[in-house]
Structure formats: C-alpha cells, structure tokens
Structure 1
Amino acid sequence: MISTYDTPAQKPNPVDDTTFTRPLVKALQQQTEQLAGTIAGPDAHRIASAWVYTTVLAAWCEDHALIPAWLRAEAEPARKHHLDAGGTLLGWLGRACASLTTHQSTACLLDPRYNPITQAAPSEDGARALIRWWSHEAPDLAYSAGKGPSSLTGWLAGDLLQLVADERRKANALCQTPWWICDFLLDRTLVPAIETWPQDLLRVIDPACGTGHLLVWALIGLYRWYRSNGPNHPALPPDAAIRRALAGLHGVELDPLTAAVARLRLTVTAGALLAGDNALPTPLRLHQIPADLRPQIAVGNALLAGQGDPCPPGTLLDDTHHYPRILQRGTYHAVVANPPYITVKDPQTREAIRAAYPGVCTGKFSLSVPFAVLVFDLAIRGGHTATAPAEDGQ
C-alpha cells in the first residue's frame, strides 16, 4: 500500500472524522455568508468563498510553520503593530494570502486567472470578523493523523474546497477521492508499474486531478521507490529521487483554483519528503523549498487538450513548455483518475467532446464515458490503469 504509517491510530484521522469536519465546514460556510454580505456585485458569494478558502490554505500553512503567523492568536502583537502604523485588517488579510505565493509553483494562488479574490475585497469589518474567527475559534489544521494521510499532505485543506461552497461541486463535479480509495487505485496501477518497469523513469498521470489527492499519494510512492535499494535499482539520493518523481508525474484539472491548490500541496509534500531525509532544514518553510521543484499540473480540459498534437496552444491555461509531453497518448506507465460523472451543460464543449470521442459519446453521455477512453489511450502498451467508478455506474 502507498499509505504506511507506524503510529497506531488512537482516534479517527480528522479527514475521516465527521465530528471534526462538519462543525468546521459549517463555520466556514457561515464565514463565507457573512463575508459575502460585505462584497458588492453579483459574484459576491463566489468571491467571498474564494477569500475564505484562501485563508484556509494560509491557516494550514501557518499551522505547519510553512509561513509566518498571520491569522492565528500568536500573530496578534504583529497585527496590532500593523494597525498602529496605519495599516488595515483588510491589508493584513491580503498579506496573509500573499504569503502563500513565496514559491514559484504557488504564485498562481494570487493570479487573477486562478483566484477571484483580486476582483473584489470585503469590508474592513468583514476582514476583522474573519481574522477574529481564525484567531480565537477555528481549530488547528495541524494534527496527529495515525492511520491515513498526515496533516502536512494538505488532505483536509483539499477536501474543504468542495465543501466551503457548492460552485465547484455543482459545475465541475469536484468530488475528492478518499485516501483509502487512492490506496486501492494506486495499488493496482503504480505498484505494478514499478514492478514491470523497475529501471524506467515512471510516467504517471491523473487527467482529472482535483486538488491532488491521487497525485500526492503517487508522489510519496514514487519517492519511496526511487529512494529504495534493490537488484539493478540503486537508491537515489533525496534530491535526485524527488526530481525524478516529479519529472514523470502529471496532472490536469479544469478549474484553475483547484489546480493551484494541487500545486501547493505537491510542492509542500515534495519539501516534506526532502526534510524527512534531512535534505532540507526543519521546520520546513515554503520559501526554502527549491524554486525549481515545480509540480506539472496543467489547467485545461484533458478530454480536448492533447488531441493530435501532444499539447496544442490554447487548450491549457499556462505556457505549454512547462509541461513537456503532458497528455501524450500511449506514454504513461500508470493512469489513475476519479473522473467527473456529470453531463456537460455547455453546448459548444459538449459537441467538441462528442466529436473527439464519436465512438462512445452518442446521445446524452456522462463525462465518465470519454474519460474512460482517455485513460486507456494515455497508457503505454501494457500500462496499468484504474478509475473510481461513476456514481451512476456508467
């Protein structure tokens, strides 16, 4: 199994414990509603949810000492000094969000193409209420995990994106994969791929990666493999192992903010793996993770990108040179996905997908159908594939 933890579980992992997650989600939704009331315009709720969720990421990083204290109680003296010097709490909140961008791969978190918080700001009272909640009421996002993903993987932070607001869940069918399902899928793809091609640079992709659950699990598994010693497979030093793992690991996600979260999580996971092998100083700081460790997670529609040309211009949000050979058919040793199971509402996109997959997209079709074709097309001959089934069984 990819997940291996020596600490016995004294209590449920918080990602599985509804007594922890439900009150947190309810509180975050309340913060979103309150903040939306201080933002003008028809997109107030969408922008407010982005503000609240970006502070989730900041609090998660802060609780793990990845960034300086901004939102928690220990930051109160610095906040007071900021206010005494003529600053505002809205400005302080903006600085907390900006602290997430100290690594090259996470700069997108304040890119207006990814995150709508640059479109409008809440009021000073709204910022004050949100900071007060994080400072005095919100639970710690660093916790002892026992069985399952550690809090440093950002698993809970990834889950919260679909729960803070309904927009992504309804529009893009964002539905995060439980960690034990990730175990199941990777045990049947990554593990046999390692056994089949023990000397190759393994290419692994999730073409519907969400906030990166499967990719985080795959990165941990690949790093452990490259660090292990075996016949005709000498152990690599930590820096070489993590670079080799990232070189073959790809993800594609339609929603820009969701993809940005996946980039943040994989960057932190890569740094944590290095720090665990004493290749980076501890405590781990986001800005100290080597800037050229960049997860290859593209923003775009995986069903349409890569048709014909490996990466045609205009199909991905970022410059395509950042993702050499991404989505190239017949090149991946392992392909895993939890594809969306919704139908496409936009007629232009629906007809483009129908034209790209004419053999299966007839009549009314679920996106899980063309994704099933894509998963097989991406795999190398003899490659290993697995998907989580659609809810409707298609």
Structure 2
Amino acid sequence: MIDSKTLLADLRKLVAALEKDIRERTNAVPEIRVALEAEHAKAKKAERTAQTFNAWRDDYVTQVAVAWVLACVFVRFIEDNELIDHPWIAGPGDRMRDAQEQKLAFFRDPDRALLSDREYLEQVFREMMKVPTLDQFFDKKHNLVWHLAPSADGAALIIAFFQRENTDTGALIHDFQDDEWDTRFLGDLYQDLSEATRKKYALLQTPGFVEEFILERTLGPAIETFGLKEVRMIDPTCGSGHLLIGAFRQLLGRWQQQEPATSSIELVNRVLKAVNGVDINPYAAAIAKFRLLFEALKACQLTKLKQAPAFRINVAVGDSLLHGRSPKSGGLQTEFDLGDAKHAYSFENIDEVWGILSRHYHAVVGNPPYIVVKDKALSAAYREIFGSCHRQYALVCPFMERFFQLAVPGSSGVSAGSVGLIVSNSFMKREFGKKLIEDYIGNWDVTHVIDTSGAYIPGHGTPTVIMFGRNQRPLADTIRTAMGIKGEPGAPAEPANGKVWRSITDLLDKPGTENEFISVGDTSRGRLGAHPWSLQGGGAAGVKQSIEACKVQTLDALFTAMGRVTHTGSDESYYAPKGVWCRIGFTPADTVPLVEGDVVRDWRLAAATDALFPYEHTNLSARAELQTSRLIRQLWLQKQQLKERREPGGTHEEIGLTWYEWSRFQRERFKVPFSIAFAEVATHNHFVLDRGGKVFKQTAPVIKLPADATEDQHLELLGLLNSSTACFWLKQACHNKGDSTDSQGARVTGDPAFDTYQFRLIR
C-alpha cells in the first residue's frame, strides 16, 4: 500500500542526497564538467538561458537526481504490482529475496565483478527497455539517467532506500502495491519532490473537479462539433497529466458507448492518438506518460506488460512557447510561420515536440504557470515571439496566445477549436496585462470569463480566473461572466462542494442569477476589451462605471511623476533600524530617513529605517569626499558586491555610476519637498502628505505634483485619495492579492477586510 505523504517526505531527502552526490561528481570528474560546460555554452549561445554555469548546472543536477529516483519509482511500481515476472530492485515478501538474487547473479558474472550498484541499476533500466511500451520511458537518447549518473555510493543509496524494511515487522517501508493501480501519488511527487524545481516551473496540480469542469466545456463540445473520429486535444503545459487523464477517460467512455463490440486495445489506441501533451519539465512529462500508460493497461484489463501492445503515448518534453510553429504578431492566429529550433537540450525529443506543436487541435486546455520568467534570455525570447508580452509580463500572456494559436482556426464553413484554461488573474489589473486584453483577447471569441479567486482550489495560493473561448472572430456582443461577491468562508471538507465552486457550477448557465457568493450575467464585449478588468459582482462593476462617467479629469493630468525615490540594489548595505547609524558614529548628514510601505498608515507615516546617504545635500551628486569619510569604511566591507550590482544597462561602472552610490536615485522626486506617499500593498487606501527630507522605497511610492503646487493643493488631492469613494474605485481597478492568511486555497476570502490590494494602477 502506498503511503503518499511518507513516500514524498522520504524521497525528498533522497533527492537532496543525490543532488549533493552528483554535484560533487561533476566537480571531481573533468570529463563530466567539460561536457556540461559545452552544453551550457550551446544553450547560452542559442539564448535558451542567461544563467551562469553554476546555476544552470545545479538545475541540471536536480533534474538528473529526480530522473534516477523516478526511474526507480516506476520500476518499483511495476515490480510490486507484478506486471513483470520477477523483481529487480525490491518487493514484498519473497519478491525481496528474488530481487536480491537478481542482483547477486549480475555480480557473479566475472566481467561484472568490479562493477557497482550504479551499473546494476543501469542494467535494470536496460531490461525495462526490452518490455513492450517501456522503451519510451527509458529511452537512451532522451532520458537523463543515461546522460549523467550518481557515484557508486549514490546508486547504493538508491537501492538501500527502496529495500528498507520495518525492523519490527520485516515489511517494506515503501510498498508500491495498489489493487487499483492508482498513480495519483505521482502527481504529489511531481509537485513537491524538489522545492527548487517547484519554484522554477511553478509546479501546481490541477484538482480533479477543476479538470472535469474545463473538459466538460471544451472537449465535450469539440466531440459534438467534430466527431469522435476527428477530435484531438492537447495540454501544452500538461504537468503530471491530470487533464490528459481526464480527456483519456472521457474519450474512451464515448468510444465504448459508440462501439461496444470493438476491442479495448483498438479503442485505447484511438484515444491515445487523440490525447497530446507537452511540458518543459522532463520529469513532469515522464510522470504524465507513465500515468497514461496505466490508464491504458487498466482499460484493456492487461495484468502483464508482456501482454500489452506497444502503446505510443504522445507526451513530449519541450518548451511550448519556443518549439513548433510560431504565431505571427497580432491577435487571431490563423496562419503560422515555421520557427527555427536553434537549440534542443539532450532530454528534449525535438522531433516529437515539433510533431505535436505544429498541428491544430479541437480542444486546447491547461493550467499554465503563473510566474514571471527570471531567466533574462528566455524572457527576451518569449517577448520576441509573442506580441502580448508587455513590461514585466507573467507567463499568462504568451501562454494564452499559444493556447488560442494551437486551436483549430474557425472560418466560413469551418468550426473553431475550443480553448479552456485556468490562469492567474494578475493580468486583469496589472500593467503588463494591458496589451493582452486590448490587443488580443478582444480578437478571440472568448465566451466565458469566470472569477474563481474566491473559490477554494487546493494548492492554488494565487487568485485565479477560468476562461473559455474559440479560435475565431467574436460571434456574440457579450461574454458570459461569473463575478465574485464573497469568497469561501473557510476551507471546505470537500473543495468540489465548496460554496463558491458550487455556485459557479450551478449558476453559470443561468444569466441574471445571483447569490451571496457570485453573480452571473452577460457582459458587453466592449467593456471587457479595455484594461483593467473588474470582475466584482453584486453591482460593483456598474458603480465603478458610474464613478468613471462623472470624472472631471484623470490623475495623470495632475501630477508629474509617480514611483519610488530610491533603489539601492543592496538594501542590507545601506539600511539599518532608526538610530543605529548614529549610535555607531555617523552624523545626521550621512543618513536620511527611509519610508517603507508598512509605515504609511492612517494619514501619517513614521520612518523606522535610516539609509546611508552617499550624496551631497546641496546638489545631490555622489559625494566626492566619501573616499575619506566614515561612509567609505562602512561600505568598503561590501565593495565587491556593490560593484557587481546590475541595472538594465549594465553594472554601475558601465552606466556611469560610482561603486558606492545607490543603483537608482530619483533626484527630482527628492528635491521637491512635498510628496503624497502611499502603501503599495495594503487592505485599504493609505495616502499621506510628506513635507520632504525622506526617501521612499518601491513599497511606498510617491505622487509628485508640479514643483509650484501649494500645500493646499496637495491636501485637496489627499482628501480625495483617502475617501471611501476612492477606496471603492481603487479596489475595482487594482490587483487583489487575496488573503495572506491562507496560501492553500481560496485567496479572496469571506471577509474582504483581510484581502490585500496592490495599489499601482491609479492613473
């Protein structure tokens, strides 16, 4: 019986130990390091990465460690469920003795006497490749276990892990027997096996009830429109394969109803041909593929792998945003240019990826990552291909483009493919979403926009929205919208039966209905064609429109600048709690009060931090006498770190700054005394008048009026910005970050007082 939680906790420790082992081996074996450096150089030249070698190597080592662990997990699952005749690594009862005999027999061969557990595991993988359908899991060309291996001690650690027994009962600590062949535990491994990988790829499983909802409104209509024989679907960000498995089951059920006399193997092969997935993460794709294999085996009632035909599963490792055909710039994508695959990592089956990503699909579904890409080379590559990438964009922008581009384009006499996805709702109000909304979404036939930010969706610590549409010009003048009124009051025992989620599923097809959690209606397409979006129900959107209709002028007509005053690039070098710098000998001229967002509250601010001030107070130029002052002795301790600070234009030296000054100093904002500061992230609007002499971080931006504006003019604006009307409007126009007290499910809660907003788009 699989204990998923214990297995995950123990495997995380094993992965960490293997990472250390393999990393040390990359340093100790020159041939390995040279090969990795060459691979990194090729990737960097092709602009697949901007990471340093060490950072890139560490990511690669993590993938290798996970590949070895997963390969053994696959073998163990197959062994314990007796899909092969005899075990190779371990097994319950007598099968443990059989596995140990297999290992002893391997080393009895005189030619193998000096080999180690590493070579034994490699032999196990070669044996798996001989089993029907398993060759695609242990492919020598693309599986990382063949590209880099742990040391002999590291391999011994793996075998010892899977052979561990309870000292009291003699039973295996990790038994993989499961009468139902339930592979969902692999989804848990996918999400949490490596913390570094989880953060890098924003790994997140799609709960079953969300997957069913999305497929019901995409794949279902696609089957009705195009027919079972024609329909094919794709998840371009398939992760551990929840949506693929849901699609497999739905399609197989339809085929079984339509052709009950046809053999299961024939029907399964048809379904596998129609189900496609791609993921950038090698072990995500491996898990998705393995899970689909077991769905196929169960459907065919096959209990031994040697009985199975060579099922081909269309899941590949690759970057859905870089590989395959590239969309032309613009909104609706009906024609494509062949892109140029400049580079492929060794674990990417580029031919298979291109085969999948160069077709159109009748249903395109997914849960794309919500993150902002940190790798500058990748970010620039995506920006070059996808026109919706604007400012510091999140991945929702290029992926939404890609999803619609992959759907069958509709035209006169040709039906369009359906798209369904759950994404972060950050694009709705943050500045980066402006181009996506105004230049792209308006050109697609978006049919539904559903605010799910108040629904309790396990694991989703980010407010989300579900969208449905078709790859064609808009047909209707309205879009069905489910707008949030109140979030889930608490964590429901069954998230699928949460009050908000049930409201969505029960009311979505009933426009004009409302309860205490959501309101459903048909919103004019024109209203959703302008950024930002407001999906607040209960009449809030209408009130926002009424406020805007009464405007006399816009805020940007009143002020000359808005934003932070300082960005040091190394806060720990310059900042200290109030009074600390003075106590160790610095004069008042050496420091300046620093204002952060959490001290801007209730019409007042009280700076709790002092910043070292490396500038002349007269003309605000970098202080020349710094070279002989106490400041230099303090900052000298971090000189190398300070010299290496980078801005968009390069290092300090490259952009003409001294090594000791701040990375950015908005002198004009500091020079004019009056400022209106506000807390960038807060539950309510907090605007405060400041009369000068302070600097402000990004968390406490300032509004600057013209230099000749009087104090009374500042106070007039301050009163408006702190009013309840402004509070209401700002909450409609700015991004709701949700309730920070719960990162596991609902982010917009039953009590709006706990929701925090990012007050940035106030112009």
* Deviation per residue, 1:246-269 (Å, 9 max, x gap): 222211111233323322332332
Residues 326 and 129 of structure 1: CA distance in aligned 2, closer, same or farther (over 3 Å): closer
**Separation of aligned partners in 2, 1:253 and 1:134:** 28
Residues 157 and 61 of structure 1: CA distance in aligned 2, closer, same or farther (over 3 Å): farther
Query: 5 Å matches for 1:327-366?
Result: 327-328=357-358, 331-358=360-387, 360-366=388-394
Structure-2 residue corresponding to 1:55: 72
Residues 363 and 94 of structure 1: CA distance in aligned 2, closer, same or farther (over 3 Å): same
SS at match of 1:332: coil
Structure-2 residue corresponding to 1:249: 275
Which of 403, 418, 429 is the aligned partner of 1:375?
Answer: 403
Structure-1 residue corresponding to 2:303: 283
Q: Is the 8 A contact 2:361 2:417 kept in 1?
A: yes
* Deviation per residue, 1:110-160 (Å, 9 max, x gap): 536432464122334x4444334323243333335xxxxx534x2212331
Residues 47 and 140 of structure 1: CA distance in aligned 2, closer, same or farther (over 3 Å): same
**Separation of aligned partners in 1, 2:362 and 2:380:** 30
**Separation of aligned partners in 2, 1:253 and 1:194:** 25
**Cα offset, 1:22, TM superposition:** 2.7
Structure-1 residue corresponding to 2:42: none
**Separation of aligned partners in 1, 2:353 and 2:385:** 22
Structure-2 residue corresponding to 1:17: none
- 5+ residue gaps in structure 1? 1-12, 15-19, 145-149, 276-281
Structure-1 residue corresponding to 2:181: 151
Structure-2 residue corresponding to 1:385: 419
**Separation of aligned partners in 2, 1:326 and 1:272:** 25
Paired residues, number: 356
Aligned partner letter, 1:386: G
2:226 is the alignment partner of 1:226:
no
* Deviation per residue, 1:303-350 (Å, 9 max, x gap): 232213467655773253x56863346x32211101011111222221
Residues 168 and 103 of structure 1: CA distance in aligned 2, closer, same or farther (over 3 Å): farther
Which of 72, 79, 97 is the aligned partner of 1:76?
Answer: 97
- 5+ residue gaps in structure 2? 27-57, 166-171, 327-335, 411-415, 425-461, 466-763
Larger RCO: 1 or 2 (CA < 8 Å, sep 6+): 1
**Cα offset, 1:106, TM superposition:** 4.0
**Cα offset, 1:242, TM superposition:** 1.9
Aligned partner letter, 1:26: A
Aligned partner letter, 1:59: R
**Separation of aligned partners in 2, 1:81 and 1:100:** 14
For normalisation by structure 2, the TM-score amounts to: 0.43
Residues 78 and 253 of structure 1: CA distance in aligned 2, closer, same or farther (over 3 Å): closer
**Cα offset, 1:366, TM superposition:** 0.9
**Cα offset, 1:202, TM superposition:** 0.8
* Deviation per residue, 1:270-297 (Å, 9 max, x gap): 232122xxxxxx4231x44222x21122
Of residues 251-260 and 131-140 in structure 1, the stretch that sits farther from structure 2 once superposed is 131-140
**Separation of aligned partners in 2, 1:326 and 1:311:** 14
Structure 1 moving runs of 4+ over 6 Å = none
Which of 13, 20, 29 is the aligned partner of 2:12?
Answer: 29
Q: Say which one has the larger Rg.
A: 2
**Separation of aligned partners in 2, 1:206 and 1:315:** 23
Structure-1 residue corresponding to 2:349: 318
**Cα offset, 1:206, TM superposition:** 0.3
For normalisation by structure 1, the TM-score amounts to: 0.78
Q: Is the 8 A contact 1:259 1:297 kept in 2?
A: yes
Which of 134, 144, 165 is the aligned partner of 2:162?
Answer: 134
Which of 295, 300, 303 is the aligned partner of 2:318?
Answer: 300
Residues 116 and 81 of structure 1: CA distance in aligned 2, closer, same or farther (over 3 Å): closer
Q: Is the 8 A contact 1:228 1:234 kept in 2?
A: yes
SS at match of 2:423: coil
SS at match of 1:369: helix
Residues 114 and 93 of structure 1: CA distance in aligned 2, closer, same or farther (over 3 Å): closer
Q: Is the 8 A contact 1:55 1:96 kept in 2?
A: no
Structure-1 residue corresponding to 2:294: 268
Residues 32 and 271 of structure 1: CA distance in aligned 2, closer, same or farther (over 3 Å): same
More helix by share: 1
**Separation of aligned partners in 1, 2:71 and 2:186:** 10
Residues 323 and 57 of structure 1: CA distance in aligned 2, closer, same or farther (over 3 Å): same
Residues 301 and 127 of structure 1: CA distance in aligned 2, closer, same or farther (over 3 Å): closer
Q: Is the 8 A contact 1:112 1:119 kept in 2?
A: no
**Cα offset, 1:209, TM superposition:** 0.9
**Separation of aligned partners in 2, 1:338 and 1:379:** 16
